[in-house]
Amino acid sequence: MHHHPWQDTSRPAEERAADLLSRMTLEEKLAQLSSIWPGSEAEGEDVAPFQHEVSEAVDLDGLLPHGLGQLTRPFGTAPVEPTEGARALAAFQKKVAAANRFGIPALAHEECLTGFTAWQATIFPTPLAWGATFDPALIRRMAAAIGESMRSVGIHQGLSPVLDVVRDPRWGRTEESIGEDPYLVGTVASAYVAGLESSGIVATLKHFVGYSASRGGRNHAPVSVGPRELADVFLPPFEMALREGGARSVMHAYNDLDGVPAAADPDLLTGLLREEWGFDGTVVADYFGISFLERNHRVADSPARAGALALAAGVDVELPSVRCYGEPLLKAVRSGDVPEELVDRAVLRVLRQKCELGLLDPDWSPASPAPEERVDLDPPAMRALARRVAEESVVLLDNREGVLPLHPTARIAVVGPYANEQAAMLGCYTFPRHVGVEHPELPIGVEIPTLLDALGAELPGAALTDDPGDADVVVAVLGDRSGLFGRGTSGEGCDAEDLTLPDGQAAFLDELLESTDRPVVLVLLTGRPYALGRWEGRLAATVQAFFPGEEGGPAVAGVLTGRVNPSGRLPVSVPRGNGGQPWTYLAPPLGLKGAASNIDPTPLYPFGHGLSYTTFAWEAAGAGSDTVPTDGGTEVRLTVRNTGERAGTEVVQLYLHDPVARTVQPVSRLIGYARVTLEPGQAAEVVFDFHADLTSYTPRPGRRIVEPGAVELYLAASSADVRHTVPLTLTGPERTVGHDRRMSCGTEVRVLTS
């Protein structure tokens, strides 16, 4: 029997949340918009910039009687043994619920960009590696497994994925991004979101919006993209992840857009996100982002004013700890400076989400292991999944001398600073690199074979050495050290002045090539692409992996030895030199090589590029019809045949070329792709479900159109390797399309022969 409507689980969440809201005092309401971060203050400068300046002591005993909105990173702040951590979190939640008169627990959130960011949890490849797989179905499986592990220990929300489209790879957070193409970012991120949400974890899209377009590739720097670029490059991944992924939370970005900080922009967070797109979940602050309105952007002169700006814009929850939404907002509301209706608006969203998570149910109890149960956050099935993602993400860039796969009895010199280094596999949002570096006394927490370890296991009959003079082939392993805020060569706040290999590794490679006549295989374990043109034609083979996680060593070794037939494709272009940066393949004609400039931005390896150890023939390309209504579609077909001697995977990419448009368009842009796995001699028909909506673009701010006329579809192996062109004519009237347009291209792979 239920005493009040908000306790009645048969009622809609909105109704229950509204009833509970009506019973709350102002102090209780504001408590639901607040968060605490236990254990963070002592190491503040190591977690986020300015943290030591904006973190304030919290009177927990004074706060809890009013309730608590969120609990920040109970597993991801300091090393905690998983079983003990789960029990401690359950005990704390009981304390929170018991202290307030409604019995409401906190919503606990964690980072999960490379897996659950907790000690002893499985470490998956970094998001740039997800993009390299071109395999949304696999990324969805990965995210579901991550979510299940988080949910099992009492976590409710994951601060992932990152949907920032790479525009300048000097940006340190390139490793956290999925790629330089909005369609690839949107489809892979939507799959991740769907997987995380399927496990009951609230997925949080970040960073909304434009963060990766910062001037000079510098973290937190101003962004000055035009409204068309914002609409056609940066916003579509977020639209897709909300509509097709089902994300229930969005995190505002740190940057300003043309002088307006995202955290204080009501047109963005309310007008676009909620009123136009219909989003009804929660908007959370990026860590200290509300305080930054005062400290960094200087559009507020006090915590109260910063809080008022963010609340009015549409930020519902202050993370990671309360400074602007607590006492300052309380005083501002009571003085009449801030309408209480704005508080009610945000609290209603928070309560509705808690209701959806079961946190308002009368029979709620925290997740806690049984007395005899031990929590394993890195079980064999998770490691196997991490291996699969890593294997699919490795990109074979070049194999000009056919030196790969390595011969099983060869003499192999394995050299370079990252040949025998576990950290080479780990991005900046892995627990060991994010938090563990501050605890050198503790073991890393999970098994991470180095590439040298893995090669030894893969090739027991080979002779491995560190002396190039004694070898048949040399494997040079170079890369990045991930870190935070200047303590690495890649990662948040670890931006690059240029795209030269860091830490003197370019000179190392030069010296190696000059000192040996043996073929040299370059293996890169990095968080961004680096300029490789100076070694063009001098390397026997080049393999690229983007921080491939705890199973990255065996995955890369598998590609080198041939156990794995590489199927990864570049989610970002690899530049020839530094002079063409910033550059992505999404360029109009004047952005490419031309007579107007002596600088050639053509990449050494283009977006979508990747080689295999087998060969494929592409045949019988065409469309169901060569005319398509502006509100209709057609099927685009291609037959792919494995003409080699071993099984392999081809990645067929579909690009749009619009010869004449009302505003300047990229020469081509990705609108579909399919992974095709075939045995030797086997063929399959690839069918793309093309719709005219995929040609839409923004001729002026606030208006997206599909216009009649001629377009071409490119069936390609990369953005620069077009195999077939399918001309189409769009007929009928010009259409204005909105948030409900078709955003993705359905694909089907039909095996024909075996």
User: What whole-number percentage of the chain has pLDDT above 90?
Assistant: 92
For 654-683, the pLDDT digits (tens) are 999 999 999 999 999 999 999 999 999 999
pLDDT for 55 beyond 70: no
Half-sphere exposure of residue 223: CA atoms within 13 angstroms, side-chain side: 28
Q: Among 624, 530, 622, 629, which Cα is nearest to 570's?
A: 530
- The beta-strand segments (E) located in 236-339 are 249-252, 256-257, 260-261, 282-284
φ, ψ at 729 (rounded to 5°): -120, 120
What does the pLDDT read at residue 581?
Answer: 66
What does the pLDDT read at residue 60?
Answer: 79
pLDDT for 52 beyond 60: no
Q: Among 289, 199, 207, 213, which Cα is nearest to 241's?
A: 207
- What is residue 401's DSSP assignment? T
- Mean local confidence (pLDDT), 88-114: 97
Tokens 């970094």: give the residue: 126
What does the pLDDT read at residue 61?
Answer: 79
Q: Indicate the average pLDDT of the chain.
A: 95
Distance CA 522, CA 151 (A): 40
In which element (H, E) is residue 684 found? strand 683-691
Q: Among 71, 114, 76, which Cα is nearest to 439's?
A: 76
Q: Which long-range contacts (CB under 8 A, 24 or more apart) does 457-461 make?
A: 457/554, 457/557, 458/554, 458/557, 458/558, 458/560, 458/561, 458/563, 459/406, 459/408, 459/410, 459/412, 459/561, 461/408, 461/409
What does the pLDDT read at residue 42?
Answer: 45
Distance CA 720, CA 737 (A): 30
pLDDT band at 599 (very low <50, low <70, confident <90, very high): confident
What does the pLDDT read at residue 44?
Answer: 45
Tokens 């080198």: give the residue: 560
- Mean local confidence (pLDDT), 558-580: 94
- Residues 6+ away with beta carbon under 8 Å from 9: 361, 362
- Catalogue all structural domains in the chain, each as residue range(s) with its CATH number: 393-589 (3.40.50.1700), 616-753 (2.60.40.10)
DSSP-derived pairing of the beta strands 633-642 and 627-629: unpaired
User: Sheet holding 249-252: strands in order across?
Assistant: 35-36, 70-72, 107-110, 157-158, 202-208, 249-252, 282-284
- Judged by average pLDDT, the poorest of 57-61, 458-462, 643-647 is 57-61
**Other beta carbons within 10 Å of 701:** 10
Q: Among 45, 434, 49, 428, which Cα is nearest to 221's?
A: 49
pLDDT band at 456 (very low <50, low <70, confident <90, very high): very high
For 202-241, the pLDDT digits (tens) are 999 999 999 999 988 999 999 989 999 999 999 999 999 9
Tokens matching residue 612: 């295999």
pLDDT for 41 beyond 90: no
What does the pLDDT read at residue 56?
Answer: 62
Tokens matching residue 414: 């394995």
- Mean local confidence (pLDDT), 477-502: 96
- Residues 6+ away with beta carbon under 8 Å from 686: 637, 638, 639, 640, 652, 674, 676, 747, 748, 749, 750
Q: Is 535 helix (H, G, I), strand (E, B) or coil?
A: helix
pLDDT for 404 beyond 70: yes
Tokens matching residue 289: 């982002």
pLDDT for 40 beyond 70: yes
User: What whole-number percentage of the chain has pLDDT above 70?
Assistant: 97
pLDDT for 79 beyond 50: yes
pLDDT for 298 beyond 60: yes
- Judged by average pLDDT, the poorest of 424-433, 593-602, 619-628, 635-644 is 593-602
What does the pLDDT read at residue 51?
Answer: 57
- Mean local confidence (pLDDT), 154-176: 97
**Other beta carbons within 10 Å of 335:** 9
Q: How far apart are the first and last CA of the chain?
A: 62
- Mean local confidence (pLDDT), 516-525: 97
Q: Among 513, 574, 516, which Cα is nearest to 543's?
A: 574
- What is residue 115's DSSP assignment? B
Q: Among 83, 84, 82, 58, which Cα is nearest to 72's?
A: 58
What does the pLDDT read at residue 57?
Answer: 65
Distance CA 62, CA 369 (A): 30
What does the pLDDT read at residue 2?
Answer: 63
pLDDT for 603 beyond 50: yes
Tokens 């993370």: give the residue: 319
Q: Do 135 and 392 contact (CB within 8 A), yes or no? A: yes
Distance CA 532, CA 315 (A): 43
- Residues 6+ away with beta carbon under 8 Å from 415: 466, 468, 474, 475, 476, 477, 512
Burial of 44 (C-beta count, 10 Å sphere; 0-12/13-18/19+): middle
Which residues on adjacent β-strands are paired with residue 545? 525
Q: Is 128 helix (H, G, I), strand (E, B) or coil?
A: helix
For 356-384, the pLDDT digits (tens) are 999 999 999 998 998 899 999 999 999 99
Q: What is the dihedral of CA 697, 700, 703, 707, to 10 degrees?
A: -50
- Mean local confidence (pLDDT), 612-632: 97
Tokens matching residue 211: 């963060």
For 379-390, the pLDDT digits (tens) are 999 999 999 999
- Mean local confidence (pLDDT), 605-621: 97
The letter for the amino acid at 596 is: A
CA distances from 628 to 359, 364, 688, 711, 744 (A): 50, 54, 14, 10, 17
pLDDT for 80 beyond 70: yes
For 572-583, the pLDDT digits (tens) are 999 999 876 677
**Other beta carbons within 10 Å of 374:** 9
40 or 133, which is more confident: 133
In which element (H, E) is residue 543 found? strand 541-546
Give the rounded distance of the alpha carbon of 261 from its chain centre. 22
